[in-house]
Chains A and B, each alone.
Chain A
């Protein structure tokens, strides 16, 4: 149970801490960086898109699947998203963040839009409900997978996430992967709005702080 974490706790912000960054998969020596690939795409190089696709299609598809829970729709959206990356690359600015962050932001928005446009929201909600009943949180499930080796970035990030109390995980899950507002989460979980807000704020802060620590370890 969440216990006293529902109350806001004093926040300790280290303004001198290094910039928060999650780590992308390790690249082979000599391989172009994500930024170099984005610059290639901006210059109209299809091979750069091809390489970026090889590098991240699995992550982007996993994100889409987490939102819409439908394999065929996920494949369609994946294609649309990489097409949008190709078309919108000119809008990417390295000063505002990393290529993966830009792609994930774009993919998440498209996936949530797609979910709503196709009026699949109710059906996905039922599936999510079913999954939630069977397994409180897929993040928890994923941490037990043996193929993920110690030191793997993904595992480290999951460790940060699964260290949250379940109600916080659930609130973050519903907000990030289902695009729900605080009010929608409150209604879905039959929880007071103020509690939902606190859970989200605490959950996100812990993940943010955890990532900063993780950054020191990598």
Chain B
């Protein structure tokens, strides 16, 4: 697999869209390209961030945050 092909597969990999029969070849190429591959995969995770930032933020109830923080503080006191 060329690095260009690896880059294409990496973008599929980070969103979980690689098919099971593509995983082995991908992992093999990942080992072959070493740190360069790991760096590229890390960069690809920015796609997640971008998709989320493309959405209009949704409102949540104030009670939800109160409940969350109460759970967190309760857990801390245990």
Residue interface bits B32-48, CB-to-A below 8 A is 1, else 0: 00000000001111111
Within residues 48 to 78 of chain B, which ones have a CB less than 8 A from any CB in chain A? 48-61, 64-65, 67-69, 71-73, 75-76
Bound CA span A26–B2, Å: 38
How distant is B59 from chain A, measured CB to nearest CB, in Å? 7
Residue interface bits A67-92, CB-to-B below 8 A is 1, else 0: 00000001100110011001000000
Which size class do A's interface residues fall under?
35 or more
A24 touches B (CB below 8 Å) = yes
> Could you list which residues of chain A lie within 8 angstroms of chain B, going by C-beta atoms?
11, 13, 19-24, 44, 46, 49-50, 53-54, 57-63, 65-66, 74-75, 78-79, 82-83, 86, 96-98, 100-101, 104-105, 107-108, 139, 142, 145, 148, 153-154, 157-158, 160-161, 175-177, 179-183, 197, 200-201, 204-205, 207-208, 211
Bound CA span A66–B48, Å: 13
B15 touches A (CB below 8 Å) = yes
Which residues from chain A contact B56 at a C-beta distance below 8 Å?
62, 142, 145, 148, 154
Known: A11-B8, A53-B68, A83-B71. A100 touches B44 (CB 8 A): no
Taking a contact as CB atoms under 8 Å apart, the answer to whether A22 and B64 are in contact is no
Interface of A is mostly: helix
For the complex of A and B, list the 5 residue pairs with the smallest distance between their C-beta atoms, beginning with the closest.
Answer: A58-B57, A22-B50, A62-B55, A204-B11, A61-B58
* Cross-interface CB contact of A208 among B47, B61, B72, cutoff 8 Å: B47
Bound CA span A86–B65, Å: 13
Known: A145-B56, A201-B12. A86 touches B72 (CB 8 A): yes
Which residues from chain B contact A58 at a C-beta distance below 8 Å?
57-60
Taking a contact as CB atoms under 8 Å apart, the answer to whether A49 and B43 are in contact is no
Which residues from chain A contact B49 at a C-beta distance below 8 Å?
21-22, 24, 98, 100-101, 104
Bound CA span A20–B65, Å: 32
